[in-house]
């Protein structure tokens, strides 16, 4: 099965959900994801990820309530109209606050 292109990120959600759900219950699969995610996903789901895709799965430490991966740092140059067209909408402050509160309760 081919890997969805970055402009079709919605196509990633079902697969990512399946991977993370299995990792929540399958200790061996979880370890395989940490060691070699490309192989673990290929062997378990038959999905061949592009060799150029740099992928890493992290375990949340037990002493952390919420682990947030920061976005890439962007330069201060203004975006072109073409770049702006490619930017997806995101959550506003209220949605982000609700997400954090839900994670902590």
**Residue 79 resides in a domain:** yes
pLDDT of residue 71: 86
Task: Put residue 62 in one of left, alpha, beta given phi > 0 → left and psi -120 to 50 → alpha.
Answer: alpha
Report the number of distinct structural domains present in the chain: 1
Cα gap 37→39, rounded to integer Å: 5
Reported as a pLDDT band with limits 50, 70 and 90, residue 37 is very high
Reported as a pLDDT band with limits 50, 70 and 90, residue 10 is low
**Which tens digits make up the pLDDT trace of 20-31?**
999 999 999 999
- Over the chain, what is the mean pLDDT? 80
| 3-class SS letters over 58-105 | CCCCCCCCCCCCCCCCCCCCCCCHHHHHHCCCCCCHHHHHHHHHHHHC
**Residue 50 resides in a domain:** yes
**Residue 89 resides in a domain:** yes
Which range of residues forms the domain containing residue 17? 6-104
**Residue 81 resides in a domain:** yes
**Residue 46 resides in a domain:** yes
Angle at which helix 37-45 crosses helix 27-35, to 10 degrees, equals 130
Reported as a pLDDT band with limits 50, 70 and 90, residue 94 is low
**Residue 91 resides in a domain:** yes
Q: Give the DSSP letter of residue 76.
A: S
**Residue 1 resides in a domain:** no
pTM exceeds 0.85: no
**Residue 22 resides in a domain:** yes
């Amino acid at each position: 099965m081919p890997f969805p292109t970055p402009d079709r990120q919605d196509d990633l959600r079902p697969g990512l959900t399946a991977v993370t759900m299995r990792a929540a219950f399958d200790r061996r699969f979880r370890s395989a994801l940490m060691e070699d995610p490309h192989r673990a996903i290929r062997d378990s789901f038959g999905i061949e990820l592009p060799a150029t895709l740099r992928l890493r799965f992290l375990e949340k430490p037990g002493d952390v309530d919420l682990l947030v991966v920061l976005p890439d740092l962007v330069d201060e140059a203004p975006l072109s109209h073409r770049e702006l067209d490619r930017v997806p909408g995101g959550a506003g402050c209220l949605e982000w606050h609700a997400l954090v509160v839900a994670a902590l309760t």
